[in-house]
Amino acid sequence: MRLPLYQVDAFSSKIFSGNPAAICPLERWLEDSLLQAIAEENNLSETAFFVAQPGGYQLRWFTPVGEVDLCGHATLAAAHVLMTELEFTQPEIVFSTRSGELTVTKSDTTFTMDFPVLKCESCEPPPLLIKGLGRQPQEVYRGDDYLVVFNDEQEVKSIEPDYACLIQLDARGVGVTARGTEADFVSRFFAPKHHINEDPVTGSWHCLLTPFWAQRLGKIRFRAQQLSRRGGELVCELVNDRVLLSGQCATFMKAEIYL
């Protein structure tokens, strides 16, 4: 059996930047153990699999170590593959996922995802968090991830995490953020528990950042930058209890998996 495989750089208009995701279209679902083995072999932060169903597609995301509930950049990449490589012609794609129905629309070269808002609450910073980031934060919040606020963009850029500390924390990952100089806000995201020390661009993380900064800045539409080595840019908009995340994609590779 041969399976098609695409590698797409999401949240970027050119290859070698943004966040790479592997996209594997399927005619039917394979065993979970095989899906996980493919994701481990790809060794990217996410491998997405989709299967057609009435009215849309079922979509699942796997890191090298397990399935996750929500992934932004691999959803964007999956829509890109369908609309630019597989000639999907409808104006909107509906994905059925573990986080409910997610829609993606395309305008020119930009894809827009409709995702649920993620919430967080203020908390005391655990000692391991401060040690892992190497500095005292301005504020700390906790949702599925830790949201850690610093004074300015330069402080976010200069963090050199101790991943041995961060991996011990009781959250999916740790994100740091501050007001930006060229963007409304900037961030970085660390997820050593998922074998991703620093994620290049994290869509789901911006479902937490967007309502957070909306409350701080008194507006609902933002230009965001993720300051990883590869870098990435997003446009984020808060609409009631949803977050619209927009970005571009570039296809890096087309291949086949031999099973």
**Per-residue pLDDT tens for 132-163?**
999 999 999 999 999 999 999 999 999 999 99
Q: Are strands 92-97 and 100-107 parallel, antiparallel or unpaired?
A: antiparallel
Examine the pLDDT at 32 and tell me if it is beyond 90. yes
pLDDT band at 14 (very low <50, low <70, confident <90, very high): very high
Tokens of 101: 């129905």
pLDDT score recorded for residue 195: 84
Q: Are 212 and 141 in contact (CB under 8 A)?
A: yes
pLDDT score recorded for residue 156: 98
Task: Give the burial class of 127: count Cβ atoms within 10 A of its Cβ; 0-12 exposed, 13-18 middle, 19 or more buried.
Answer: exposed
Cα separation, 199 vs 18, whole angstroms: 10
pLDDT score recorded for residue 201: 93
This prediction's pTM = 0.89
Residue 46 designated active-site: yes
Q: Which domains are assigned to the chain?
A: 2-114+245-258 (3.10.310.10), 121-240 (3.10.310.10)
> Which residues contact residue 55 at a Cβ distance below 8 angstroms, ignoring those fewer than 6 apart?
94
Annotated active-site residue in 40, 41, 46, 155: 46
Examine the pLDDT at 117 and tell me if it is beyond 90. yes
Q: What is the mean pLDDT of residues 32-49?
A: 97
* Dihedral pair phi/psi, residue 51, rounded to 5°: -135, 135
Reported as a single tens digit per residue, the pLDDT across 168-195 is: 999 989 999 999 999 999 999 999 988 8
Q: Which helix (H) or strand (E) holds 41?
A: helix 32-42
Q: Are 173 and 195 in contact (CB under 8 A)?
A: no
Q: Residue 21's closest CA among 89, 87, 68? A: 68
Reported as a single tens digit per residue, the pLDDT across 62-93 is: 999 999 998 999 999 999 999 999 989 898 99
Cα separation, 156 vs 90, whole angstroms: 40
